Structure 1
Amino acid sequence: MISFILNLLFYRRSNPSFSNEELNDFEDLYIRAIQNNGVINYQYDFPKYRFIDYLIQEKNFVAHGSNIKDIELFETRKQTLFNGEYVNAIFATKDGIWPIFYAILDRSKVVNNFRNGCFKALNNKKYYFFSLTKKTLDKDPWTTGVIYFLLSESFEQTNKTRVHFDEWISRQETKPVLKLDVSKEDFEYINKISTHKPKESIIITWLLYKIRTSILGHSKRTDNFK
């Protein structure tokens, strides 16, 4: 029943195993990045989120996306968890797609608020939603950014219920080990961004998310034939 509801409301990602070619290329890229002061020079046809997944799953990293391209030390700051609880921490995730959204969304162009999430179910399936206000979307709020990779030892999962956000926090400062440039073209769900009213409840945003993205997608296809 829970899987049915999640599939009804949100988009579920496919998560195939890494091919031998991916494993060989990603391992080589990881070694070269370590030798290059942590800078990743990505030149493969595989989607970047696959390499992010590889570093998370195989090299024990968490990922953090940001517009700021020169972070040398992550420090804790007061933020809110998914449930509204305040915490002084560094936020990260063990998902390859979600941090790209944070890296490419230009916060200076956000009007009112934005909503998003990566839900993880106990069957390890992941579900996403991404929503902006119309005023934000009209500003074309996309930029380039960076995915930072931090060692996961000091991070803890914020929730372990049957369905939870793939959200991890650390309560101590930490230095990034690797960094990867990303852009709008690297975000798999760029055409799955919905719009919501600034003051509507999050439940309404969830209930209407796929309907709204379908309408927006139809509008874009119609525009292409004008």
Structure 2
Amino acid sequence: MSVPTRGIALLLNAFGLPRLPLQVQSTGPQYDDLTERWLDASHGWQPPDDTATYLRWLATHRDVLFHGSQRADLDQLTPDRESGDSTAFGNQRAVFATDDPIWAMWFALLNRSPGYRSTRNGAWSVRGGHDRHYFFSVDSDQPDADLLTPGWLYVLPRSGFTRERPAAGLVQSGQWINPNPVRPIAHLPVSPTDFPFPNHVHRHTPRTGMLRTLWNRRRPT
């Protein structure tokens, strides 16, 4: 790992961001069997013991992406209007997806009912590193217990998507876009209990800058 890359990794660690390994190795034939029944033969979703670990394994071993939604009836995903994202890549008219199912799960579970105003979030890995660092924050009047609610995770074909380029050639987000409509391969229900970081959701206000939001999240929730 180069000196600049090592410095960025140390900075992410200084913020205290939760992290997970980028790849999940084989856990035996059960995940292969589940994938063959569900994705390849369309026999319906049968939840494994650990949905998050299975989906991370799927991201490692299949050429797929993920999209989170509160809707269960999306037969086709269509390009969204510009999202107001702070980056040019994230503010395009496109179908947005990620190679990280945990990040996609955040968008599936996030409760946007009255009281919710905005979210700041990210999933970042450093070139040559082995982990992905996560960040989740909301501007909301909702109690902590109401921030997450059941939603749906869509599995998409990776073909036709373009990956966001690494920032400064060093920091890779998990974000991908496709300017064309996309038909999902499958979708599955997810619940707050599937989300591995419920105690790492923090708060911000419109007056709080991004760096301050990241720094503030070092405080216990």
Q: Same fold (TM over 0.5)?
A: yes
Partner of 2:146: 140
- Asked whether 1:61 is paired with 2:76, we answer no
Deviations 1:95-141 (A, max 9, x none): 13111111111212453312111112112421111111251345713
Deviations 1:22-62 (A, max 9, x none): 241111111111366374221x22x2122212222211000
Deviations 1:129-182 (A, max 9, x none): 111125134571321111101000111112223113211001111110021211
Deviating more after overlay: 125-134 vs 79-88: 79-88
| Percent identity (aligned) | 24
Partner of 2:126: 121
Partner of 2:73: 70
- Amino acid of the structure 2 residue aligned with 1:192: H
Deviations 1:50-93 (A, max 9, x none): 22122222110000111101110011121345515631100010
Distance, in Å, in 1 between the alignment partners of 2:22 and 2:11 is 23
State the 1:197 CA deviation: 2.1
Partner of 1:159: 165
Partner of 1:106: 111
- Amino acid of the structure 2 residue aligned with 1:154: G
Distance, in Å, in 2 between the alignment partners of 1:160 and 1:122 is 8
Partner of 2:87: 83
- In structure 2, relative to structure 1, the CA distance for the partners of 1:171 and 1:138 (3 Å cut) is same
User: Contact conserved, 1:62 with 1:94, CA < 8 A, in 2?
Assistant: yes
User: Contact conserved, 2:80 with 2:93, CA < 8 A, in 1?
Assistant: yes
SS in 2 for 1:116: strand
Distance, in Å, in 2 between the alignment partners of 1:52 and 1:158 is 21
- In structure 2, relative to structure 1, the CA distance for the partners of 1:16 and 1:120 (3 Å cut) is closer
The Cα RMSD (Å) is 2.1
- Amino acid of the structure 2 residue aligned with 1:88: R
User: Contact conserved, 1:119 with 1:126, CA < 8 A, in 2?
Assistant: yes
Report the TM-score, using the length of structure 1 for normalisation: 0.84
The alignment of Structure 1 onto Structure 2 pairs a total of residues equal to 210
Higher helix share: 1
Report the TM-score, using the length of structure 2 for normalisation: 0.86
Matches within 5 A, 1:27-38: 27-34=32-39, 37=42
